[in-house]
Amino acid sequence: MDAGGQSSSLQMSSQRPSSRAQNFRTYATEAQKPSSSSTPWIVGAVAVGAGVLGYNFLGSNSKTAKADAPKPSDDAQKMDKQGGEPGKTFTGGEQGFVDLKLAEIIPYNHNTKRFKFELPEKEHVSGLNVASAIITKFKPDDQEKPVIRPYTPINDEDVKGYLELLIKVYPKGPMSEHIHSMKPGDSLSFKGPIPKYPWQPNKHDHITLIAGGTGITPMYQLIRAIFKNPEDKTKVSLVFGNIKEEDILLKQELSSLENEFPQRFRCFFTLDNPPESWPYGKGFITKELLKEVIPDPKSENIKIFVCGPPGMYKAISGAKTSPQDQGELTGILKELGYTKEQVFKF
């Protein structure tokens, strides 16, 4: 999902942390129970959209800009005979783009829809892992270069036969507008997986996810992977800022997981313009708020993940220099005493 839409829940605010934030702080400082296993276990992708990146996301390699989409590789065309594992549509490397047909469109909210794309074979899985994304491509008739954007599917990694995207439309967002204009039977070019963060179960005792708007998407991928794996005992804190309640994506799924894993997963929602009955945070994601709800920077074995619109990166952590370069840590997290090594920017 294009993350270019602005979630303004990221500036300084006069709002004091609520009692819920105080309880959240108690949770954030609780010691993690020893894990029964530290064996690395990389799981496949759950998914939702990633951030807006320009055409240079793939660099200047002209091979990636070809309009013709090649067929899936041989590995993606057949079942793996070893262990009976399903074939993978996306195999990375030199595979190139794969055309997928749009099968179904499901309305989600006032500006977001779910798009279900058929994989080439009903027994295929996507082939994504955690944390990774796919990229989409289409060439407007009036432009020389194609539009390329990354997204992260929302369906579970082992689901066969289809890929599902949750996409918010942005004014003058060429890819989101194009996908929202598609009809069942139309095709779109995909390539992947594009690796983001090599998640390993129990690598960190406690992770904090700071998301704004559509920046929830790679966070949801991590959350789903952690709580799907019974061997992964990682504690998770989510701070999620939006403008209005109807802008919150995946709230039902997140709240359900919080209820299922109350000792390990806590969500803190905050809105710029909350309704009167809103029981969560009010105002922006601030230095004061983060100080209350995330683990102390001196805590051992923690990691903080950040994803949101450009203004949020600037205020919270500083921007990445490039897709491959995390850049220096600045903003609120640096002021609170966190180190560059403790923070990952999607």
Summarised one tens digit per residue, pLDDT across range 170-190 is 999 999 999 999 999 999 999
- Indicate the pTM of the whole model: 0.79
- Determine if residue 150 is labeled as part of a ligand binding site: yes
Mean pLDDT calculated for residue range 70-79: 50
Buried b (16+ CB within 10 A) or exposed e, 255-272: eebbeeeeebbbbbbbbb
Range of the domain at 329: 19-41+199-345
Residues 285 and 245 grouped into a single domain: yes
- Determine if residue 79 is labeled as part of a ligand binding site: no
- Determine if residue 168 is labeled as part of a ligand binding site: yes
- Determine if residue 16 is labeled as part of a ligand binding site: no
Listed residues 164, 195, 226: the one ending a domain: 195
Q: Is residue 129 predicted with pLDDT exceeding 80?
A: yes
Mean pLDDT calculated for residue range 320-336: 96
pLDDT, position 85: 86
Listed residues 135, 160, 195: the one ending a domain: 195
| Residue at 319 is within a domain | yes
Residues 220 and 322 grouped into a single domain: yes
| Residue at 50 is within a domain | no
Q: What is the CATH number of the domain that holds 308?
A: 3.40.50.80
Listed residues 174, 195, 216: the one ending a domain: 195
pLDDT, position 74: 53
Q: What is the CATH number of the domain that holds 158?
A: 2.40.30.10
- Determine if residue 17 is labeled as part of a ligand binding site: no
Residues 158 and 242 grouped into a single domain: no
Residues 187 and 210 grouped into a single domain: no
Closest to 217 (Cα-Cα) out of 306, 316, 329, 342? 306
pLDDT, position 90: 97
Mean pLDDT calculated for residue range 217-226: 94
Question: Residue 79 — pLDDT band, cuts 50, 70, 90?
Answer: low
Q: Name the percent of the chain lying above pLDDT 70.
A: 76
- Determine if residue 166 is labeled as part of a ligand binding site: yes
How many structural domains does the chain have? 2
Question: Residue 31 — pLDDT band, cuts 50, 70, 90?
Answer: low
| Residue at 2 is within a domain | no
Residues 25 and 64 grouped into a single domain: no
Residues 75 and 186 grouped into a single domain: yes
Residue pair 153/48 in contact (Cβ under 8 Å)? The answer is yes
259/154: higher pLDDT:
259
Strand ranges (E), the chain: 98-107, 112-118, 132-138, 147-151, 162-168, 187-195, 206-212, 235-242, 265-271, 281-282, 302-307, 343-345
| Residue at 4 is within a domain | no
| Residue at 3 is within a domain | no
Question: Residue 157 — pLDDT band, cuts 50, 70, 90?
Answer: confident
- Determine if residue 20 is labeled as part of a ligand binding site: no
Q: Name the percent of the chain in helix, strand, coil, to the closest 5.
A: 25, 25, 50
CA angle 337, 340, 342 (to 5 degrees): 80
pLDDT, position 83: 53
